[in-house]
Amino acid sequence: MTKTTIQLPTLDFTKLHNPDTQSEFYQQLRYIAKEVGFFYLVGHGIKRQDRLDLLEAMKKFFALPKAEKEKISMSQSRHFRGYTAVTEESTRNKPDYREQIDIGEELPALSLRPEDPIWLNLQGPNQWPDAVPELKELALRWQSQSRAIIEQLLRAFLVALDVPTTSLDPILTGAPQHLLKLIHYPARNDQPDSEQGVGAHKDTGLLTFLWQDDNGGLQVETDSGWIDITPIEDAFVINIGEVLELATNGYLRANVHQVLRPKNGLSRYSIAYFITPNVEAKEVPLLPLPLELQQQALGPASDPLNPLFHNLGKNAMKGRLRSHLAVTQRFYPEQYQQIVENNNIS
């Protein structure tokens, strides 16, 4: 498959808050989201110093000895929170060459009965490193800022699509459900099997809000092949998730994307924020698009290696169970056995 380099379109978030440019923002958003799916967001209001402070704390953590990092290993959390070492997460059954910390909303675990759905375990406490105490405050601040921006952007999507701004409330209200990933891609050693930073996939939630450093590696798949998403300082990359694709019956499409580890011998760092439906959400609400947009909707494009399910909590849990087998083996042995035997979960 061929690979090209293009400049993604850029949206200025300040235009949304200016009555003189708001209409233009909505028009640009609808066109870009429909025709491209990925775009840069500037004017978001997150201070560069906040990013530099969080990045410094990340680098400090990932430079720790392995034993120190493993003190907050995700394998200790039934809620899929904490540190994952290189190759401990997989995409499409291939190991990802990245290490990361997964951070969700800072909420207590739910009191569950044996008959309760296992995906309610997705709510629970985070793990924080004692060796980098400042990381907690910096990460939670980033998480709060990111959610405020993405909630505004989601409402802008609904306005741009000419549907009520409350249309997604059934899956967004209640306890917040989102995921912050602090990610480090170690420098490559030119081994044949180590090019994959994270394998080709679609994001399963609603929207992704991503900052990447200037070492590159992010690519999106298009009809013309793989396109490099060139880093731009102070700009965030926004991409559409499968839930938003479902909700619009495919009018908006979630893009397949991947990360290749840089070949220049440098590490790569990124900060990814995913807004997802709450753990009790069931059906994806089908947005009442105007007839003109309905006629342009192509229907959702299901990835055959990661089929979509109407039960949102169940689908989210399946993704985590498949990707983090150490957690699955320890806390969900029945599902682990299904994966081992069938390469799938019922």
Is residue 338 assigned to a domain? no
Is residue 231 assigned to a domain? yes
Which spans in the chain are helix H? 22-35, 48-62, 66-69, 134-160, 169-172, 242-247, 291-296, 312-323, 325-331, 333-342
Number of compact structural domains in the chain: 1
Q: Identify the CATH number of the domain in which residue 250 sits.
A: 2.60.120.330
Task: Identify the pLDDT of residue 1.
Answer: 40
User: Is the Cα dihedral 198, 29, 179, 214 positive or negative?
Assistant: positive
For 75, the domain range is 3-331
Identify residue 163 by its one-letter amino acid code: V
Is residue 340 assigned to a domain? no
Is residue 273 assigned to a domain? yes
SS3 state at 73: strand
Report long-range pairs for 2-5 (Cβ below 8 Å, ≥24 apart): 2/224, 2/225, 2/226, 3/219, 3/225, 3/226, 3/227, 3/228, 4/224, 4/225, 4/226, 4/227, 4/228, 5/227, 5/228, 5/230
pLDDT tens figures, 68-105: 999 999 999 999 999 999 988 888 778 889 999 999 99
Is residue 345 assigned to a domain? no
Is residue 68 assigned to a domain? yes
Tens of pLDDT, residue by residue, the chain (346 residues): 444 445 689 999 999 999 999 999 999 999 988 888 889 999 999 999 999 999 999 999 999 999 999 999 999 999 999 999 998 888 877 888 999 999 999 999 999 999 999 999 999 999 999 999 999 999 999 999 999 999 999 999 999 999 999 999 988 887 778 999 999 999 876 565 568 899 999 998 899 999 999 998 999 988 778 889 999 989 999 999 989 998 998 899 888 999 998 777 789 999 999 999 888 887 888 899 999 999 998 877 655 444 454 678 888 888 889 889 999 999 999 999 998 888 777 6
| The token pair that represents 186 in the structure block | 């170690």
DSSP per-residue codes, 185-196: EPPP---TT--E
